[in-house]
Amino acid sequence: MGWVVLRWSAGAPALTALQWEIVRLVEDGRTNAEIAARLGMTPGTVGTHVGRIVERLGLDGRADIGPWAGAWWRGGPGRGHSSAVVGAPREAGHAARDGEGAG
């Protein structure tokens, strides 16, 4: 797993770094099994994290994570997203090291 350094506003939802990574992977359309393989955990553990994410964000289910994340990355209304935050974790403005030195 690569490292992603994020700078969030004070209004960002209280998710762990791992949960933000899972949000990104769910938004990308990955299954729990695919996420598990990428992050080195079981699909059941990913499912537990997804459930906690859904609960913390006040969503109805896993299918709502992608649309919510898309709105969050774009700084949608009421998201508490400041101008200091630049889009999704992989966009310019964030330090990302995929597959480098993560071992």
Model confidence, pTM: 0.64
List, as own/partner pairs, every contact residues 94-97 make where C-beta atoms lie below 8 angstroms and the sequence separation is at least 24, other chains included: 94/4, 94/5, 94/6, 94/7, 95/3, 95/4, 95/5, 96/2, 96/3, 96/4, 96/5, 97/2, 97/3, 97/4
Mean pLDDT value of segment 45-74: 92
Predicted confidence at residue 11, as pLDDT, reads: 60
Is 79's pLDDT higher than 60?
A: no
Higher pLDDT, 16 or 103: 16
Mean pLDDT value of segment 67-84: 64
**Among 3, 5, 1, residue whose Cα is nearest residue 94:** 5
In the chain the domains, ranked by start, together with CATH numbers, are 3-7+15-97 (1.10.10.10)
Mean pLDDT value of segment 6-23: 75
